[in-house]
Amino acid sequence: MDKEIYFAGGCFWGTEHFFKQINGVTATQVGYANGNIENPTYEQVYTDSTGFAEVVKVAYDPKKVSLEMLLDLFFKTIDPTSLNQQGEDIGTRYRTGIYWVNSEDEKAVTKALSELQKNHEKPIVVENEPLKNFYNGEEYHQDYLDKNPSGYCHINPELFELAK
CB 125 within 8 A of CB 79: no
CB 26 within 8 A of CB 61: yes
Catalytic residue check, 11: yes
Burial class (CB in 10 A: 0-12, 13-18, 19+), 113: middle
Q: Which residues contact 139 (CB under 8 A, 6 or more apart)?
A: none
CB 14 within 8 A of CB 153: yes
From the candidates 5, 8, 11, 55, which is the catalytic residue?
A: 11
Q: Which ranges of the chain does DSSP label H, i.e. alpha helix? A: 12-20, 42-46, 67-75, 103-117, 144-147, 157-163
Rg of the chain on CA atoms, in Å: 15
β-bridge mates for residue 5, sequence order: 58
Annotated active-site positions, please? Answer: 11
